[in-house]
Structure 1
Amino acid sequence: MGQNWRYGVVFDAGSSGTRMYIYKWEDPAKVTQHATLEELRRLPAIKLESSEKIRPGVSSFASVPETIGSDHLRFLVELALVKVPHDKVPDTPVYIMATAGMRLLPAGRRQGLLLAMCSYLRDSTSFSLPDCSTNVQVISGETEGLYGWLAVNYLLGLFDYQDDLDNHNGHHTYGFLDMGGASAQIAFVPNATEAEKHAEDLKLIRLRNIDGTISEYKVFTASWLGYGANQARKRYIDKLLDAYDRPVGFDVLDPCMPSGLRTTLNNESLPRTVPNTEFTLVGTGNFSGCLAKTEPLLRKDAPCIDEPCLLNGEHVPLIDFSINRFVGVSEYWHTTHGVFGGKHEAYKPVTYQQRVLDFCSRSWDEVIADLMDRKVKGKVEDAQEACFKASWLINILYEGIGFPRFGVEHDLSFDSNISEINIETGKERSFVAPFQPLNRIGGVEVSWTLGRVILYASGQIPPQRQYISFPVGFGSNVPGAADFELAGSAYDITLSVHKGHGALDSIMDKARANSGSTIIPLILLGAIITILFHERARRLHRIRWLNSIIRLNRFVTSPLRFRLDYSLTNRLFERRTYDYERVMEEGDVDQMDLGNIDSDECSALDMSDSMQARRLSPLTAPRSTLDPLAARLGDNF
């Protein structure tokens, strides 16, 4: 079935490197021919085909943008052309989406790099790239957070159980935390009270399921530029220098490095120094002092214009830790599972902080000897910065965002007998932790790039007629939001209807399998067969009778109503024709001819505001009793 796959290529152009992801999913037109009713009510099944990373980040080419194609992108582009079948390349969208490293550049240099990258892609490939401004761009931190939120909840399967609101006090999604080299993001769904109070601060995300119905989510997202691990360390070193007033080379005591470690930093490693001056950092191995030095970098005391705020005066609705659970990726994973070990272990605050304290209290000679004994290659540089990153992460989580500590105090007075406890009862037992770092879910690497592809693939699905004016995408949670960003994909309206008697039999079989009664389906099937053998003049009369039966909700089950909607009967009996075959995901319904729709049918297309605020699917979801994170992660920590 290789010919039935669709592909998407996304470049994550970060501050420290560029990683390319290739995703694939089955053509929606083919999926509907063999999908079950349960599969039809889900999003497209997207698979990670390949990924590869190169260094450095694209911002390193700011002064020589003309070389970024041949010296940087070429390797990844050639790999993509190998992985994507040749005949699929013209229909495969390609995106280069730059993040915090590019946000830090002056506007002129930033634009020069974007144009150079787009030109290289257009000159060297035939990938689908209709608009440089949308396919090659610097995305905001908020958008990056939304994509990440989509990716995590998609991989956990939580969009498959949108209607199962009994679990977790009606809260069924995970929040998303991401920390790169230059910025940090948060995205989550607030509790009902906070969501209502801060409705205009939320982002509306709209997706389309295989069956043509839509799902809508209202998510809060925020980003802190300069709060990534590398930029935070530069700010930290800058603060250390405030204690010295000599403009020439000298030693600077650093409590965030193991004792005995000496490392020289030049101007490129610092936010501001006297030109041509080098500084030597000398580790003192005082982790408590490290925590105290890094905490002010959170800027919790910054003026808060829009209460409440978290870091640097940035507005964030109150987080209800009784229902809000979070996963952290990128530095949240590497800093908790890299140098400190525990690669396949779940994160536990007490265990982690004890490991950090033990590691950072050792001399640098002991650290090096241990790395050699463990044959851990390439970890020496990571070990030099490990204590700072650990202190930064701990402060972000507990002093910044406010996660419960479960008995761990800021002075690191550990109780080795503390075990996992339930938040509400305090009893020692297994529970769903409010924060868990991860790298993979179900064997798939977690990346915000998947969120971009979820939107694109979802936008390829033809909508049911009543949802045709609800395009896939995201934007501000206000009516008629001017910033609503479309999925960028197109769907074929003719694919929304199965053709042929065999397809109708399949639909009827699925409806019967999901229905408690077979009488009405048999009557309807008999009526359809009868009508097919009557002349056209008599078909129109029969259609009105058939549609009236379909609209009787108390007699026909939801699956049957959905599969035998107006568009199906209209196609079967040629009641009206359409003047188009493809409709772009633009939401411009006024440009489309829907034919001569009766007034009573038009009323059926109206949707209330309350319906838009929840999943608009007529099907019933299966019940989920397992915690999705524990069930999906397995041994992929």
Structure 2
Amino acid sequence: MGKWRYGVILDAGSSGTRVHVYRWLDNARARQDDDSGRLKSLPKVKTKEDWTKKIHPGVSSFASKPEQIGPDHLDGLLQHALKIVPDDAVKETPIFLLATAGMRLLKNVEQQLLLERICSYIRSNSDFLLPDCDLHVQVIPGETEGLYGWIATNYLLGSFDSPGEHNHGKDHHTYGFLDMGGASAQIAFAPNATEAEKHANDLKLLRLRNVDGSSREYKVFVTSWLEFGVHEARNRYIKALQAASGAEGIKELPDPCLPNQLRTTMDGEIVSSTTEPKTCLLGTGKFDECLRQTYALLDKDAPCPDQPCLLHGVHVPAIDFDVNHFIGISEFWHTTHGIFEIDYKDKAYDFNTYQERVKEFCSQDWGSIEKSISDHQLGKVDDHKSAYELCFKASWIINMLHDGIGIPRVGLEDTKGSGHNGTKEVLSHGKNKGFIGPFQPANKIHGTEVSWTLGKVVLYASSQVPPADGEALPVGFGSNMPGVPGDFQYPSVDRLARPDEAKEEVHGEHWHDALFAGDSPRRIPGILLFIFIIIITLYFLCGRTRRQRIYRKLGTLFHRRGSSQHHHHHHNKKSGFLGGKLPFTRRNPPSYERVLEDGTRDFELGNVASDSEHESERHSDSGSPSGRGLKRTSEWGSTPTLMFGFDNGSSGNAGLGINNLPSNGNMDRTGLVVRTESRDHLSPIALGPTTNGRRSRATSPARPNHVSPIMTPLADD
């Protein structure tokens, strides 16, 4: 094991898949640090900008062609990761493909087929560590995605390791997390003490582990809104426009969320002079009307079975914005800052400034916007589609933030011509109090991109730390209850790191290395186990005839060597090689005697050497108390022969699972033997008390007057 540990995460989103490579210091090396503060911190996970690569489209687009997802989609991502991870670390490097909202919209059958193809391709085309497909290649719920994002945000801001520097008041030091992609949106935060107690059953218990093996726990609320991402919200908006038109055959639908005079298809493609769709959208550029129509998409009037709710009838504990300060990533960042990056230098979000800039942009004619794109005046927006989508996205973000989640509208005061800069005031407010305002968009923190994938790796790296003395609870998350709840989610198949890993690093060792590596402590016992498995395999493959020859030769050999000393062990001669020591080496497995209650048939399961020999064994224990014969077979130590009573009708056969038995004669000696005997031949010792020739069976002491329909083992007097 080298100095560094690595992890590979494939974020399979709705619009594309992005591979992230992370690394952290091996725990044995990290514990050599003399700084006690660092030992009390989480593992330091690092990444680089060029360790990330994204390709389009998303994995969900391969639902109709799953056989192509490997060569056409995954191959380039795997090759990128293999260039970064050192060759000698690949086998120890876990890989995860975690799909989000795009895959959640597919049917279960389509999901499973894609996931199976993905796992098979990764295993066949790389040596990355992938011990369990169900854990490493899966569609994660929105709640899990939100919790990973919450971990990543607080990890980068330092609120985990330095809570004193992030005191928001009321003994609260963590930040809330907001994320919006194309298909879904997530929220995660730790409620204040009052709400946490009131809604304890709604919280997730998260457990992490420091470098020194000590644990830390957090109680977080997290939920997700499917179809509340920008693309799915846009689809719902278009359907609402069509429904509101109320008439068929309309060629143009006015759309206030598109720039004035822009015409697009219902799918969002710009209509050119050569294309004439049946119905198109005509932009009017009325941003206020756009805000009003997108507000309806929040579904604020939906029934709320579990109060309180924010939107769409989804329960969320009350948010205390005095202590709950949110970081927004993905669309919350790109839509509020991406297009205005050149002249919008201040990174803080202030509602009034942002809304004024969006309104000014969306009121322009489409021709003016096209010219701005050509002159590179729109920041990172260099294509027409991103430009005309901005108006809808901006209105949706504003409604989600302020009318949906309820974030205060910072900077509401008028800024036109007053020289007052609300954004700078927000920045100053954050610096003075040591924390930012109620909402802050972010793309990077301390040079590292904020991504939920980082939270997944932090959780995994934490789980690889050996627990300190007395620390036995695993790393992961689940329902908010003590111990390990039934729904507890482990970062990987390794639920608990071994306590001796800090002394000797053997974690991740492959079976072939453990068996044959020169310095492995498992080498000798591993080789012996391997040889034993080979012997057992050859034993079963050599065939019954050859085994019998071997028995006779070995039996003769052992008999000659030990006949002068072991005459008193007469039963061992019949047992063959090793007799009763190893039951599976006998030719005849132990027979189980079953006695009919009514009738004269005696069913015996297993092989018997001869009827006479079996009868002699059955009555050999004449010295048992009360004259009851109870044979203990030598091949099973002290296990008594079991005798089962049942009626002679069909119900008895059904109870044992035996059907259509022959009325006379013996079956093959390896199977069920059927022997017909007279009533007089069955001795009273074996049968016990009788009544009119029938066996009288005592009732169960636990259940009086009830007879088991299947079996009644004889008691060992």
How does the TM-score come out when normalised to structure 1? 0.73
Q: Residues 173, 278 of structure 1: CA spacing in aligned structure 2 closer, same or farther, 3 A cutoff?
A: farther
AA in 2 matched with 1:367: I
Which residue is equivalent to 1:148? 149
Q: Which amino acid aligns with 2:338?
A: G
Greater shift, 257-266 or 171-180, is seen at 257-266
Q: Report what 1:476 is aligned to.
A: 479
Deviation per CA, 1:326-348: give whole Å up to 9, x if none: 00000000101122332663222
Asked if 1:362 corresponds to 2:361, the answer is no
Deviation string 1:187-224 (CA, Å, 9 cap, x unpaired) is 00000000000001000000000111001000000100
SS for the counterpart of 2:10 is strand
Given the superposition, is the C-alpha separation of residues 422 and 277 from structure 1 closer, same or farther in structure 2, using an over 3 Å criterion?
A: closer
CA contact (8 A) 2:14 2:102 kept: yes
> In structure 2, how many angstroms separate the alpha carbons of the residues matched to 1:323 and 1:336?
23
Q: Equivalents in 2 of 1:429, 1:493: separation in Å?
A: 44
Q: Which residue of 2 aligns with 1:20?
A: 19
Cα distance change of structure 1 residues 44 and 234 upon mapping to structure 2, 3 Å threshold: same
CA 1:395 to 1:89, structure 2 compared with 1: closer, same or farther past 3 Å? Answer: same
Cα deviation for residue 351 of structure 1 reads: 1.3
In structure 1, the partner of 2:354 is 352
CA offsets per residue over residues 269-325 of structure 1, 9 Å max, x none?
Answer: 9xxxxxx97531111010000000000100011000000000100000000011110
Equivalent pair of 2:348/2:423 in contact (CA under 8 Å): no
Superposition map of 1:12-411 within 5 A: 12-49=11-48, 50-162=51-163, 167-248=168-249, 250-266=251-267, 278-341=278-341, 342=344, 345-374=347-376, 378-406=382-410, 408=412
Q: 1:174 to 1:54 in 2, by over 3 A?
A: same
Matches within 5 A, 1:545-556: none
How far apart in 2 are the matches of 1:103 and 1:278? 32
Cα displacement string for residues 567-608 of structure 1 (whole angstroms, at most 9, x for unaligned residues): xxxxxxxxxxxx999xxxxxxxxxxxxxxxxxxxxxxxxxxx
Name the residue aligned to 2:572. Answer: none
Report the secondary structure of 2:322's partner residue. coil
Partner of 2:273: none
User: Where do 1:441-590 residues align within 5 Å?
Assistant: 441-468=445-472, 470-479=473-482, 480-488=484-492, 489=494, 491-496=497-502
SS of structure 2 residue aligned to 1:177? strand
How has the CA–CA distance of structure 1 residues 420 and 77 changed in structure 2, closer, same or farther, with 3 Å as cutoff? Answer: closer
SS at match of 2:2: helix
Question: Equivalent residue for 2:3?
Answer: 4
2:348 counterpart letter in structure 1 = A
Report the alpha carbon displacement of residue 372 of structure 1 after superposing the two structures with TM. Answer: 1.6
Paired position in structure 1 for 2:606: none
Q: Distance in 2 between matches of 1:309 and 1:484?
A: 26
- The TM-score normalised by the length of structure 2 is 0.65
> Cα distance 1:398–1:166, how it changes in 2: closer, same or farther (>3 A)?
closer
Distance of aligned partners of 1:179 and 1:35 in 2 relative to their CA distance in 1, 3 Å threshold: farther
Distance 1:495 1:399, change over 3 A: same
- Offset, 1:462: 0.7
**Structure 1 pair 361–132 and aligned structure 2 pair: CA distance change class (3 A):** same
- Cα–Cα, structure 1 residues 498 and 93, in superposed 2: closer, same or farther, change >3 Å? closer
Amino acid at match of 1:310: L
| Per-residue deviation, 1:48 | 1.0
AA aligned to 1:15 is S
**Equivalent residue letter for 1:125:** S
AA of the residue aligned to 2:301 = D
Q: 1:3 to 1:429 in 2, by over 3 A?
A: closer
Q: Which amino acid aligns with 2:205?
A: L
Consecutive unaligned residues of structure 2, counting only runs of 5 or more, are 271-275, 506-520, 524-717
Equivalent-residue separation in structure 1 for 2:263 and 2:34 (angstroms): 62
Q: Is the CA contact 1:354–1:414 (under 8 Å) kept in the aligned structure 2? A: no
Ranked by relative contact order (alpha carbons within 8 Å, sequence separation 6 or more), the top structure is: 1
Counterpart residue identity of residue 362, structure 2: C
Secondary structure of the residue that 1:206 maps to in structure 2? strand
- Write the distance in 2 (CA, Å) between the matches of 1:172 and 1:267: 43
- Distance in 1, matches of 2:390 and 2:170, equals 38
Shift of 1:378: 2.9
Answer yes or no: is the 8 Å Cα contact 1:16–1:55 preserved in 2.
Answer: yes
Question: What is the CA–CA distance in structure 2 between the aligned matches of 1:397 and 1:166, rounded to whole Å?
Answer: 24
In 2: Cα distance, 1:492 partner to 1:91 partner: 16
Q: 1:57 to 1:254 in 2, by over 3 A?
A: same
| Aligned-pair CA distance for 1:169 | 2.8
Q: Which SS does the other structure have where 1:96 is aligned? A: strand
Q: Which structure has the greater CA radius of gyration?
A: 2
Once the two structures are TM-superposed, the CA of residue 419 in structure 1 deviates from its matched residue by 2.9
Per-residue CA deviation, residues 528-554 of structure 1 (Å, 9 max, x unaligned), is: xxxxxxxxxxxxxxxxxxxxxxxxxxx
- Tell me what 1:435 maps to: 439
Shift of 1:385: 0.7
Residue deviations 1:341-371, cap 9 Å, x none? 3266322212111100110111111111122
Distance in 2 (alpha carbons) for counterparts of 1:224 and 1:18: 21
Distance 1:498 1:108, change over 3 A: closer
Contact 1:464 / 1:496 at 8 angstroms: preserved in 2? no
Deviation at 1:445, TM superposition (A): 0.8
Give 1:375 deviation, angstroms.
5.7
CA distance in 1, matches of 2:257, 2:405: 22
Cα drift, residue 81 of structure 1: 1.0
Q: 1:129 to 1:370 in 2, by over 3 A?
A: same
CA deviations on 1:102-161 (whole Å, 9 max, x unpaired) are 000111111111111111101101111111111000000000000000000001111112
Distance in 1 of aligned mates of 2:180 and 2:374: 29
Structure 1 distance, partners of 2:57, 2:430, is: 48
Alpha-carbon distance, 1:61 to partner: 0.4
Q: In the aligned structure 2, how far is the partner of 1:6 from the partner of 1:159?
A: 22
Contact kept? 1:265, 1:278, Cα under 8 Å: no
What are the superposed Cα offsets for residues 23-74 of structure 1, whole Å, 9 maximum, x if unpaired?
0001001111134111100000000141110000110000001100101111
Secondary structure, in 3 states, of the residue corresponding to 1:374? Answer: coil
String of CA shifts for 1:228-273, please: whole Å, max 9, x gaps: 000000101111111224444611100011101111134999xxxx
Cα distance in 2 for residues equivalent to 1:8 and 1:174: 25
Preserved contact between residue 267 and residue 278 of structure 1 (Cα < 8 Å)? no
Aligned residues: 491
CA contact (8 A) 2:258 2:285 kept: yes
Letter in 2 for 1:295: Y
Match of 2:685 in 1: none
Q: Name the aligned partner's letter for residue 18 of structure 2.
A: R
Matching residue of 1:521: none
1:167 CA displacement = 4.8
Say if 1:408 and 1:414, in contact at 8 Å, map to a contact too.
no
Distance (Å, rounded) in 2 between the aligned partners of 1:444 and 1:422: 26
